[in-house]
Amino acid sequence: MNDNRAGFREFTRTAAARERLLGAVKPTEGTEPVGLGDADDRVVATAVAADRPVPHYERAAMDGYAVRASDTFGASERSPASLGITDTVRSGTATRVHTGSELPGGADAVVMVEATDRTGDELAVYEAVPVGSNVGPVGEDVAEGQALFEPGHRLRPSDLGLLKAVGLKTVEVYDRPRVSVVPTGEELVQSDPAPGEIIETNGQTVAQYVERWGGAATYRDVVTDDPEALRTAVERDLDHDIVVTTGGSSVGERDIVPEVVEELGEVFVHGVALKPGHPVALGAVEGTPVLMLPGYPVACIVNAVQFLRPAVAAAGHRQTAPMATTEAQLVRKIPSEPGVRTFARVTLDEDAEGERTATPTRTKGAGVLSSVALADGWVVVPEDREGYAEGELVAVEEWEGGR
């Protein structure tokens, strides 16, 4: 066993660990009405139907003249129909209309302006039109009472425009899952670090990802490496949908978070076959899932994406969106350890022929935050591969943009 794995009883494969965690996640039950201006990316909680039709009036679908279709029968280039131009439509008359304007009473069709010739108040019509020609009927876009969205639908800006068009001002959505983020470590400070102290970044980063992924984060103060303090911090936030800790998840002398969670509830995974970040632990206390993320920044982020992102999605009645990927050719090989899922950070570029290339920055260095912040994505090497060779085409996951 490698030294960096010493102390762990076993390593669970990533997919199995994720499945175990998601089995403990409960979707939120609460709902709230939200104004359309604040409903983007929220999840519909009750079926939504149209309050009114769109359009709610008969409208001209073209610029031209509203007419009675019967007045144009037989009209042609050689034998145009002659109509008077008035403000209202009656037998033998026409009224000027524009695209989207209401069809005047008495009219049942629109002649396109290109098929006419106006001289003063007289109109020559060179084309016969049937009833309903170039007319948008009531409800052509959306019928009154039409079902629009079912529970579980994730709202987009275009959806909200539609809801406004049918007369709705609010929509009932599921509560965002509440996620407590608790950074741990006696060496952590928020600013002005003395020698031996470290600026706290993991908790802030994770809390901001929670918000991006559709959750509502509670970013807690740093908790020191003390069993009683950690116990109090976890118990305090069991009213949340998910509790996340950062740091203290390995098997060192000060890595006591899994031990505390085990005393309070259950740790069902401790150690996952991924790199960087194998010292992650997953558990539950009184029915609340607890994710114990490693303290090294890169390892923390990798595990947050692999486990917390789908957990927040499941709690929020969402499907985990597929990760955006870019196919690129490797500039250098990526080594990996058999049986371990490896996340190799890369930068994307283009070669002289305009083809996308991926240059590995690091496969090691779980504590080097800049290696993630300055990367364009990562290449995932599955457990059954011993790396990728130089020149191979690989999929680069642009995980930073994922929701």
Using the CB atoms, write b or e for 40-67: b if 16+ within 10 Å.
Answer: ebbbbbeebebebbbbeebbbbbbbbbb
Type and span of the H or E element at 395: strand 393-397
The rounded percent of the chain whose pLDDT value lies above 90 is 81
- pLDDT value of residue 353: 84
CB pairs under 8 A, 24+ apart, for 318-321? 318/43, 318/154, 318/214, 321/402, 321/403
- pLDDT value of residue 253: 74
Model confidence over 346-393: pLDDT tens digits?
A: 999 988 888 999 999 865 555 555 566 678 899 999 999 989 999 999
- pLDDT value of residue 10: 80
Do residues 381 and 392 touch, judged by C-beta distance below 8 A? no
Confidence check: pLDDT of 1 > 50? no
Rounded Cα distance, 121 and 352, in Å: 66
- Round the average pLDDT of the chain to a whole number and report it: 92
Regarding beta strands 356-362 and 325-330, do their DSSP bridges make them parallel or antiparallel, or are they unpaired? parallel
Q: Using 50, 70 and 90 to split pLDDT, how confident is the model at 3?
A: very low
- pLDDT value of residue 402: 63
At residue 338, the 3 state secondary structure works out as coil
Model confidence over 68-94: pLDDT tens digits?
A: 999 999 999 999 999 999 999 999 999
- pLDDT value of residue 169: 96
- pLDDT value of residue 366: 54
Model confidence over 296-335: pLDDT tens digits?
A: 999 999 999 999 999 999 999 999 888 899 999 999 999 9
Residue of higher predicted confidence among 8 and 32: 32
Q: Using 50, 70 and 90 to split pLDDT, how confident is the model at 193?
A: confident
Nearest partner of 124 among 68, 64, 75, 69, judged by Cα: 75
Do residues 97 and 64 touch, judged by C-beta distance below 8 A? yes
Rounded Cα distance, 332 and 225, in Å: 41
Label residue 358 left, alpha or beta by phi (over 0 means left) and psi (-120 to 50 means alpha).
beta
Q: Using 50, 70 and 90 to split pLDDT, how confident is the model at 2?
A: very low
Do residues 131 and 109 touch, judged by C-beta distance below 8 A? yes
Nearest partner of 384 among 324, 325, 338, judged by Cα: 338
Structural domains in the chain plus CATH codes: 3-30+175-315 (3.40.980.10), 31-54+140-174 (3.90.105.10), 59-136 (2.170.190.11), 325-401 (2.40.340.10)
Do residues 20 and 283 touch, judged by C-beta distance below 8 A? no
Q: Using 50, 70 and 90 to split pLDDT, how confident is the model at 4?
A: very low
At residue 113, the 3 state secondary structure works out as helix
- pLDDT value of residue 373: 67
- pLDDT value of residue 370: 58
Rounded Cα distance, 29 and 287, in Å: 15
Rounded Cα distance, 148 and 155, in Å: 11
Model confidence over 257-270: pLDDT tens digits?
A: 999 999 999 999 99
Confidence check: pLDDT of 283 > 80? yes
Weakest-pLDDT range from 4-8, 52-56, 145-149, 218-222: 4-8
Q: Using 50, 70 and 90 to split pLDDT, how confident is the model at 180?
A: very high
Identify the residue whose tokens are 């022929």. 353
Residue of higher predicted confidence among 132 and 373: 132
